[in-house]
Amino acid sequence: MLQTGESGAKCEAMRKTILTAGCILALASCKKSETTTAVTALPPAQNQSVAATNEPPGPEIDPCSFLTSDQIQAILGEPLKDVRRNEKIEGILLVTQCFFELPTVSNSAVLTVTQKSSAAEARDPKDVWAETFTGGKNAAGSTGRKKVKPPRAVEGLGDGAFWAGNPKIGSLYVLKGNAYFRISIGGNEGPEVKIEKCKALAQKVLEHSF
- Model confidence at 150: pLDDT above 80: yes
Per-residue pLDDT of 138-148, as tens digits, reads: 444 444 445 55
Q: Is residue 181 part of a domain?
A: yes
pLDDT of residue 117: 83
* Residue, of 168 and 155, whose pLDDT is higher: 155
Per-residue pLDDT of 55-112, as tens digits, reads: 444 456 899 999 999 999 999 999 999 999 998 877 678 999 999 999 999 999 999 9
Mean pLDDT of 23-45: 35
Q: Is residue 59 part of a domain?
A: yes
CA separation for the pair 92, 6 (Å, rounded): 12
Q: Is residue 210 part of a domain?
A: no
pLDDT of residue 60: 67
Mean pLDDT of the chain: 74
Number of domains within the chain = 1
Q: Is residue 86 part of a domain?
A: yes
pTM value is 0.69
- What letter would DSSP give residue 49? B
Q: Is residue 92 part of a domain?
A: yes
* Residue, of 169 and 14, whose pLDDT is higher: 169
Q: Which residue in 92, 103, 110 sits closest to 42, CA to CA?
A: 110
pLDDT of residue 124: 87
CB 139 within 8 A of CB 128: no
What range defines the domain where residue 111 resides?
Answer: 6-205
Q: Is residue 1 part of a domain?
A: no
To the nearest 10 degrees (0 to 180), the angle between helices 12-28 and 32-40 is 140
pLDDT of residue 165: 86
3-7, 37-41, 204-208: range with highest mean pLDDT: 204-208
Q: Which residue in 189, 126, 131, 128 sits closest to 160, CA to CA?
A: 126
